[in-house]
Amino acid sequence: RYISTFRPSVKCEVAKNKDQWKTMGPAKVAVPSPKNFLQKHSKEPKLPARKQEQDSKKLPALSVPRRTDHPVMGIHSKKNFINTNAVAAITGLPKKPQPIYVDRRQGDKYLLETSGLVPKYIKKKDYGVTPKYVTQRNEEMKRAQKEYEASILEHLKKRAMKQLSDEERTSLLQGLKKNWEEVYREFQGLSVEIDTIPKKIYKEKLESQMKQLEHDIELIEKHKVIYIANE
């Protein structure tokens, strides 16, 4: 059987250190003195002592009298309050009532000054005058409109367009209405019963002409300025 060569050394070490930790701690323990026993609140944290002298110096000045202060006694006034009050009542001006307005029969009263009914600003120098920024804005708008119209006219001239006059527009509108009346008269003259293909085709033709004329009339009446291409 195999036997380790370190067996005798291991036995010696075990026998040597066997009784060293027998008490589970150091062999010699300091015994506490009976005078140093645990007292009540001994483990609680202690705050530093309050410095009364410094705190008393930093107190703010009190606005009320102290308990130790005594009022000044023995001061008398020779003023006759009865006579002074009577003179003030006789010579004083009466109090003016505030102007009010009533908006219901029940008599609900409101202050007139804050209602906006009092014309306060009619005596100003610039009362009723148009402000400068409004006139400036109107001038800018007119200038922009003129520039826009000039650009349109220039564009139309480049494209060889011309504007219809009022007389030409009215004559064109009357001619379209006259054509619509003629087409409508022909439509009214159709037979009640449409039983053949030519009749149906003719009826559809008249309806399309009437729709086209109505569209042209509405377009001309809607737009007052009309441009057409030169031939």
The pLDDT tens digits for 124-158 are: 787 788 889 999 999 999 999 999 988 888 877 76
**Do 207 and 150 share a domain, yes or no?**
no
What integer pLDDT is reported at residue 133 of this predicted model? 92
Q: Which of the two residues, 139 and 57, has the higher pLDDT score?
A: 139
Percentage of residues in the chain having pLDDT higher than 90: 18
Helices (H), 112-190: 132-158, 166-188
**What is the average per-residue pLDDT within 73-92?**
89
Q: Which domain holds residue 121?
A: 101-160
Q: Which two tokens stand for residue 1?
A: 């059987």
Residue 6 lies in a domain: no
Determine the Cα–Cα distance for residues 162 and 229; give it in Å rounded to an integer: 6
**What is the average per-residue pLDDT within 173-198?**
88
- pLDDT band of residue 59 (cuts 50, 70, 90) is low
Q: Are 176 and 215 in contact (CB under 8 A)?
A: no
Scored b (16 or more CB within 10 A) or e, 43-74 reads eeeeeeeeeeeeeeeeeeeeeeeeeeeeeeee
CA neighbor of 163 nearest in space, from 231, 230, 213: 230
Helices (H), 17-131: 52-57, 81-91
**What is the average per-residue pLDDT within 8-20?**
79
Note the pTM of the prediction, 2 decimals.
0.33
Query: Which residues pair with residue 228 across a beta bridge?
Result: 162
Residue 85 lies in a domain: no
Residue 30 lies in a domain: no
| The last residue of a domain, from among 109, 125, 160 | 160
What integer pLDDT is reported at residue 83 of this predicted model? 92
Say if residue 231's pLDDT is above 80. Answer: no
What integer pLDDT is reported at residue 24 of this predicted model? 63
Question: Residue 131: CB partners within 8 Å, gap ≥ 6?
Answer: none
Domain count for the chain: 2
Q: Which two tokens stand for residue 45?
A: 């944290």
What integer pLDDT is reported at residue 211 of this predicted model? 92
Determine the Cα–Cα distance for residues 76 and 17; give it in Å rounded to an integer: 105
Determine the Cα–Cα distance for residues 226 and 219; give it in Å rounded to an integer: 10
Residue 82 lies in a domain: no
- pLDDT band of residue 214 (cuts 50, 70, 90) is very high
Determine the Cα–Cα distance for residues 176 and 216; give it in Å rounded to an integer: 8
Determine the Cα–Cα distance for residues 185 and 173; give it in Å rounded to an integer: 19
